[in-house]
Chain A
Amino acid sequence: DSGVTQTPKHLITATGQRVTLRCSPRSGDLSVYWYQQSLDQGLQFLIQYYNGEERAKGNILERFSAQQFPDLHSELNLSSLELGDSALYFCASSLGTAPYEQYFGPGTRLTVT
């Protein structure tokens, strides 16, 4: 158990809908990272927050947004969902800004039908 929690574990929704994925980092960790893992693209870095502020941006679509709250949990919002957004979404946390070791959550499997 990494100490990082993600909810929900599974999510099935229709195209055009909006969903929110939640991540709670390990106790004491200030950074949260979001990643997408799809069958055709592999793992991709989406975005990083550090202590409530956006720190780094990767391949995150404009339809996606994230935030980190004062209690350090983070939410990833996905809107106008498309079939291609079906993937595993992982969050990870680390003590500070990279390159610290990251601890991964169990992931949320999103299926868009």
Chain B
Amino acid sequence: KNEVEQSPQNLTAQEGEFITINCSYSVGISALHWLQQHPGGGIVSLFMLSSGKKKHGRLIATINIQEKHSSLHITASHPRDSAVYICAVYNNNDMRFGAGTRLTVKP
């Protein structure tokens, strides 16, 4: 079993839909990152969380440390949100990555 599990693996949505991507981890962490990887390969860091909730535009990330779970929400999804979303956890100077969730938003 991977230390970082993401679900779903693939997600297709219609433009405007509310999206949720989940990340569960099995190790203690000091922080969790959500990354976005565009079809061209570039990676952008969306959020870094150690507790609570963060919001940036249409993106919201939450983390529950006790339950070892984080969610990334996208409100009013748009085709430009189509990308792979990757959860990464930081623990003891080491980072572990989820396998990613491939999101496709159709117009």
The range of chain A's interface size is: 20 to 34
**Are B48 and A99 touching (Cβ within 8 A)?**
yes
**Are B86 and A43 touching (Cβ within 8 A)?**
yes
Q: Does A23 contact B (CB under 8 A)?
A: no
**Are B93 and A55 touching (Cβ within 8 A)?**
yes
**Are A104 and B42 touching (Cβ within 8 A)?**
yes
**Are B94 and A107 touching (Cβ within 8 A)?**
no
Q: Does A102 contact B (CB under 8 A)?
A: yes
**Are B88 and A98 touching (Cβ within 8 A)?**
no
Contacts of A88 in B (CB 8 A): 41
A56 vs B94: C-alpha distance when bound (angstroms) = 7
**Are B95 and A58 touching (Cβ within 8 A)?**
yes
Contacts of B50 in A (CB 8 A): 99
Q: Does A53 contact B (CB under 8 A)?
A: no
**Are B93 and A104 touching (Cβ within 8 A)?**
no
Task: Name the interface residues of B1-58: CB closer than 8 Å to any CB of A.
Answer: 30-31, 33, 35, 41-45, 48, 50
**Are A45 and B94 touching (Cβ within 8 A)?**
yes
A-B contact pairs, 19 of them (CB 8 A): A42-B99, A43-B88, A43-B97, A44-B97, A45-B94, A45-B95, A45-B96, A90-B43, A92-B45, A98-B95, A99-B50, A101-B33, A101-B45, A102-B33, A104-B43, A104-B45, A106-B41, A106-B42, A107-B42
In addition to A45-B97, A58-B94, 19 A-B residue pairs with Cβ atoms within 8 Å of each other are A2-B44, A33-B95, A43-B86, A45-B95, A45-B96, A58-B95, A98-B30, A98-B31, A98-B90, A98-B93, A99-B30, A99-B50, A102-B48, A104-B43, A104-B44, A106-B41, A106-B42, A107-B42, A107-B43
Chain A residues near B (Cβ < 8 Å): 2, 33, 42-45, 48, 55-56, 58, 88, 90, 92, 98-104, 106-107, 109
